[in-house]
Amino acid sequence: MNYKLLVIFLSSIFIFLAGCEINNKTNINKSEAQSAAEVLKENKDADIFMFNGTVYKTNIEWINKLNLTKNKEVGEIESNYTLNLKDSFKNKMATKLPIGSKIFSTHERKDVLIVKTNEVEKKYYALTEG
């Protein structure tokens, strides 16, 4: 009698463990950065530019409230994008900023750049997740 109980008990444990192993899958959700096309699809008037493969966007309320200081100049806007343009969005291309606008890193954050145009400075946030 004890032998039968032991076999049933061990069989139950084996079935339980085997069932756990079958359903032991890990799902990893990866969020990708928004592309310029996606941003412009949501808002055709978005003020964005691309720098080093990352899209940066301005007029984000919580970013505008940050006290940030310019670090060093890292580049400048080289071309403008229009909806009629057949080419894809490229590095140092902007929707609203004029060509020649200076791009600066900040001391405080790596995900925010400051762009200076005619004495006006705007903060742009890196769109790193969709």
Q: What string of H, E and C letters represents the secondary structure of 19-78?
A: HHHHCCCCCCCCCCCCCHHHHHHHCCCCCEEEECCEEEECCCHHHHCCCCCEEEEEEECC
pTM comes to 0.73
Alpha carbons within 13 angstroms on the beta-carbon side of residue 69 total 2
Owning domain of residue 58:
36-126
Judge whether residue 129 has pLDDT over 90.
no
* Structural domain count of the chain: 1
Q: Flag whether 41 is in a domain.
A: yes
- Closest by CA position to 49, among listed 121, 115, 117: 115
Q: Flag whether 82 is in a domain.
A: yes
Q: What is the pLDDT of residue 70?
A: 95
Q: Flag whether 78 is in a domain.
A: yes
14-44 pLDDT, tens digit per residue, is 777 666 555 556 666 556 778 888 898 899 8
Q: Flag whether 43 is in a domain.
A: yes
Q: What is the pLDDT of residue 20?
A: 59
63-113 pLDDT, tens digit per residue, is 999 999 999 999 999 999 987 766 688 999 999 999 999 999 999 999 999
Q: What is the pLDDT of residue 58?
A: 96
Q: What is the pLDDT of residue 4?
A: 74
